[in-house]
Structure 1
Amino acid sequence: MMEAIIFDFDGTLANTLPICFEAFHHVFKEFDNKDCTDNDIKAMFGPSETGIIRDNLLHPNKEEAIENYYAKYEELHKDLLDGDGEILALLSFLKESGMKIGIFTGKAKRSLDISLHALQMAELFDVIITGDDVVKPKPDPEGLLKALSLLEVDACEAIYVGDSDADIVAGLQANVFTIGVQWLPQFQTAQFSAQPHAIIKTVAQFKQSLKVGII
């Protein structure tokens, strides 16, 4: 019996990828005078936003660039993102049913907190592991294993839900039931290189699968 569901965040619980891309575009243009595509940015994913900037920005003033990123991220959050009521309802349904729910994301805690408060999700989760909490980013399962330990749940009793190849590999390596989702307007991976246990296209399909015990 499944006791816990752990979610990725960007592209899984919220359509925040456009905000991440735009904030990174702004930083690389402002500090390196470099025009990056969304795919260029996506290729940098793995570390948190601070790690991405420190690893890839050529400009020496990386701390100023990091502050610039977060300011732009928060500004764009207000302008570009509306909350997904269906996902919020799903999380509430899971909580009411007694399921433990968590987040394992590569995002830094600072940007995740901005998003969770803006989307009224801040109080919903039993555990949150961010990119700041791990030594090895996804696809390494370190953060997922840490979440399971804090929840006191065995791998065979947990589900990990994500939208990227890194999510799927991390879930499979942690030996949890791993679901690839493509239910938001923008998600990271259209064709997974590692095969998840299930691919789900809508929140309604996910909820129904839980109700009938398919997952």
Structure 2
Amino acid sequence: MPIQAVLFDFDGTLADTLPLSFTAFRTVFKQYENREVTNEELVAMFGPTEEEIIEVNFTDKAAAPQAVQDYFSIYEAGHNGESVRNSEINGLLQLLKDRGIRMAVITGKAAGLRTYGVRWLSTFQSQRYDVEPDGVFNSVAEFVELLDKDRL
């Protein structure tokens, strides 16, 4: 059976976003908590969403909502840089497009950050989609349903 569709994780697969995430976290921790955090400390916080990392680890809970928004702004703005792009991945996506293979992004990112991955991948295909990050299994099930209905 030929390949009909390919699912990709965005962060760390389609784009090298870990350094960008570190920069965004370090910036908001410094600005709102006057706290220097290392990459190792940030990795130890990973697991929850970006929002939860900030909310749980901030002592100034009132500052957390604005810090979350600033994190998202820094993170999204950083995607315009070349550091997150990968010419080999771009070549693969172009090859899949040329062969008519449909593609989707599955990510655990918050809606605002997920939208960037969808926009980025949509440059390689004409149809847009948005798969909710309610866990990989739910996302895959939704994608398969769209594929079965030929809506993707």
Both structures adopt the same fold (TM-score exceeding 0.5)? yes
Displacement, 1:83? 2.5
Q: Identity of paired residues, percent?
A: 33
CA spacing shift, 1:33–1:80, aligned 2, 3 Å: farther
Aligned ranges for residues 126-165 of structure 1 at < 5 Å?
A: 127-129=129-131, 133-134=133-134, 143-152=135-144
TM-score (norm 1): 0.55
> How far, CA to CA, are the matches of 2:38 and 2:31 in structure 1?
15
> How far, CA to CA, are the matches of 1:91 and 1:79 in structure 2?
19
On the 8 A contact 2:17/2:84 being kept in 1, the answer is no
The structure carrying a bigger helix percent of its residues is: 2
Q: Which residue of 2 aligns with 1:55?
A: 56
> How far, CA to CA, are the matches of 2:7 and 2:39 in structure 1?
26
Q: Which residue of 2 aligns with 1:122?
A: 122
Q: For residue 121 of structure 2, give the secondary structure of its aligned residue in structure 1.
A: coil
Q: For residue 12 of structure 1, give the secondary structure of its aligned residue in structure 2.
A: coil
The structure carrying a bigger strand percent of its residues is: 1
Q: Which residue of 2 aligns with 1:38?
A: 39
CA spacing shift, 1:101–1:116, aligned 2, 3 Å: closer
Residue type of the alignment partner of 1:89: G
Displacement, 1:12? 0.9
TM-score (norm 2): 0.74
CA spacing shift, 1:80–1:3, aligned 2, 3 Å: closer
> How far, CA to CA, are the matches of 1:25 and 1:87 in structure 2?
28
Mapped pair 1:11 → 2:12 = yes
> How far, CA to CA, are the matches of 1:85 and 1:12 in structure 2?
12
Mapped pair 1:111 → 2:113 = yes
Displacement, 1:22? 0.2
Displacement, 1:55? 2.6
CA spacing shift, 1:74–1:145, aligned 2, 3 Å: closer
Residue type of the alignment partner of 2:141: S
On the 8 A contact 2:12/2:18 being kept in 1, the answer is yes
Number of aligned residue pairs: 141
Structure 1 residue ranges without an equivalent (≥5): 135-142, 154-215
Residue type of the alignment partner of 2:106: F
> How far, CA to CA, are the matches of 2:52 and 2:39 in structure 1?
17
Displacement, 1:115? 5.3
